[in-house]
């Protein structure tokens, strides 16, 4: 379905929980996180109703995210139901990978096609420091399991952080030499618990490219379903390298997505405060047709561009773990 600016919305990101088994420095504080009351999260069936409504309006790709989606029991059955929804052609997931080693094959069997694993450091101690509870070996086993299960593409999401992991960027590129791993370097966005921490650590894509150019020559390339990333490859390497540049090179004019939070808000843009409550109508017994109209209204409300630069100036914007990225 078209929005007001001629963009066709074909992509829904569904956050299935706000809980997480990690505490990434830029995302969630270690103490004092106030999660939603479990009763306020949509049930699997409620989430599925929204997916069906969105699919009837032209959504073809669904990405499951969180919080950490693998921490919610029942995920495999939900993936199966989403994959079987008429109109849905592609089901993907973004995960921190901690529980992926055991889940990759069942998820693949249920209809998951692709996975993004978030990994901000290749050094186990640094990874632990950035995530508080992260176990690098467990995540890497998850990456291996995803490749072995035939999920494709397997992408590695790496948020570039000034003063933390920027020296490792070329090492991530090196990972794409032999194996079909697709690294995505992401600019830090002001969507976490500590704005001060974020402001100092934003590492712009231009600097990322310069850092990588010290070791590798990247050439423009494409990857099916590459999303908002600008994609490159080192000639002859098996995988690709992409940059998600929401802060310094925004891609709003190409944006094709809307988001559903775990507690049932349809959010037309990650970088605006617009939201439409679907949980109320769902629990008040709305019909499928009424739900479809609400989702259509949410899609039409998509703003022309995000306001994240403005968030950087403020103390409170949105919180990524409640939305799912």
Task: Name which of ligand SAM, ligand SF4, none residue 23 binds, using a CB cut-off of 5 to 8 Å depending on partner kind.
Answer: ligand SF4
260-291 exposure pattern, b = at least 16 Cβ within 10 A, e = fewer = bbbbbbbbbbbbbeebbebbebbeeebeeeeb
Q: With CB under 6 A as the contact rule, which of the stretches 21-29, 35-43, 77-85, 146-154 interacts with ligand SF4?
A: 21-29
Residue 95 contacts ligand SAM per CB under 6 A: yes
In degrees rounded to 5, what are phi and psi of residue 13?
-105, 125
Considering the complex, state which of residue 68 and residue 263 has its C-beta at the smaller distance from ligand SF4: 68
Q: Which of 103, 159, 205, 234 binds ligand SAM (CB under 6 A)?
A: 159
Please state the closest distance from residue 282 (CB atom) to ligand SAM, in A: 23
CA neighbor of 312 nearest in space, from 187, 133, 141: 187
Please state the closest distance from residue 64 (CB atom) to ligand SAM, in A: 9
Task: Name which of ligand SF4, ligand SAM, none residue 191 binds, using a CB cut-off of 5 to 8 Å depending on partner kind.
Answer: ligand SAM
Please state the closest distance from residue 26 (CB atom) to ligand SAM, in A: 4
The answer to whether the Cα torsion of 206, 208, 214, 218 is positive or negative is negative
Helix (H, G, I), strand (E, B) or coil at 133: coil
Residue 63 contacts ligand SF4 per CB under 6 A: no
Residue 203 contacts ligand SF4 per CB under 6 A: no
Considering the complex, state which of residue 92 and residue 149 has its C-beta at the smaller distance from ligand SAM: 92
CA neighbor of 216 nearest in space, from 164, 245, 177: 177
Region of 236 (left: φ > 0; alpha: ψ -120 to 50; beta: rest) is left
The token duo for 32 is: 């004092």
Q: Which of 10, 56, 85, 96 binds ligand SF4 (CB under 6 A)?
A: 96
Residue 243, strand partner residues: 185, 230
Residue 260, strand partner residues: 14, 266
Q: Where do the DSSP E strands lie in the chain? A: 11-15, 61-65, 90-95, 114-118, 154-160, 181-187, 219-220, 230-233, 241-244, 257-260, 265-267, 276-277
Residue 244 is given by DSSP the state: E
Residue 118 contacts ligand SAM per CB under 6 A: yes
Task: Name which of ligand SAM, ligand SF4, none residue 168 binds, using a CB cut-off of 5 to 8 Å depending on partner kind.
Answer: none
Residue 115 contacts ligand SF4 per CB under 6 A: no
Residue 187 contacts ligand SF4 per CB under 6 A: no
Q: With CB under 6 A as the contact rule, which of the stretches 79-87, 93-101, 204-212, 278-286 interacts with ligand SAM?
A: 93-101
The token duo for 173 is: 């590129």
Using CA atoms, how far residue 162 sits from 166, 212, 313, in Å, is 6, 14, 19
Task: Name which of ligand SAM, ligand SF4, none residue 82 binds, using a CB cut-off of 5 to 8 Å depending on partner kind.
Answer: none
Query: Which parts of this chain interact with ligand SF4 (CB under 6 A)?
Result: 20, 22-24, 27-28, 66-68, 96, 118, 321
Query: Which parts of this chain interact with ligand SAM (CB under 6 A)?
Result: 20, 26-27, 65-66, 68, 94-96, 118, 157, 159, 186, 188-189, 191-192, 320-321, 324-325
């Amino acid at each position: 379905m078209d929005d007001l600016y001629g963009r066709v919305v074909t992509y829904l990101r569904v956050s299935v929980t706000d809980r997480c088994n990690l505490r990434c420095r830029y995302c969630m504080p270690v103490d004092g996180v106030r999660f939603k009351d479990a009763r306020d999260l949509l049930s699997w069936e409620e989430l599925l109703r929204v997916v069906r409504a969105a699919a009837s309006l032209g959504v073809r790709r669904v990405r499951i995210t969180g919080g950490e989606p693998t921490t919610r029991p029942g995920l495999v059955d939900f993936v199966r139901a989403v994959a079987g929804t008429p109109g849905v052609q592609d089901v993907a997931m973004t995960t921190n990978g901690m529980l992926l080693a055991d889940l990759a094959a069942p998820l693949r069997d249920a209809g998951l096609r692709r996975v993004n694993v978030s990994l901000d450091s290749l050094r186990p101690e640094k990874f632990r420091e950035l995530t508080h509870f992260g176990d690098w070996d467990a995540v890497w086993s998850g990456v291996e399991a995803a490749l072995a299960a035939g999920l494709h593409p397997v992408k590695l999401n790496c948020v570039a952080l000034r003063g933390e992991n920027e020296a490792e960027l070329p090492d991530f590129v090196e990972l794409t030499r032999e194996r079909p791993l697709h690294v995505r370097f992401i600019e830090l966005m002001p969507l976490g618990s500590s704005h001060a921490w974020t402001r100092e650590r934003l590492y712009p894509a231009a600097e990322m490219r310069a850092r990588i150019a010290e070791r590798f020559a990247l050439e423009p390339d494409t990857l099916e379903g590459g999303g908002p990333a600008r994609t490159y490859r080192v000639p002859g390497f098996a995988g690709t390298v992409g940059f998600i540049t929401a802060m310094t090179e925004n891609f709003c004019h190409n944006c094709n997505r809307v988001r559903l939070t775990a507690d049932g808000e349809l959010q037309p843009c990650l970088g605006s405060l617009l939201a439409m409550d679907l949980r109320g109508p769902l629990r008040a017994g709305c019909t499928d047709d009424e739900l479809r109209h609400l989702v259509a209204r949410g899609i039409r409300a998509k703003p022309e561009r995000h306001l994240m630069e403005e968030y950087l100036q403020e103390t409170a914007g949105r919180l990524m773990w409640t939305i799912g990225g």
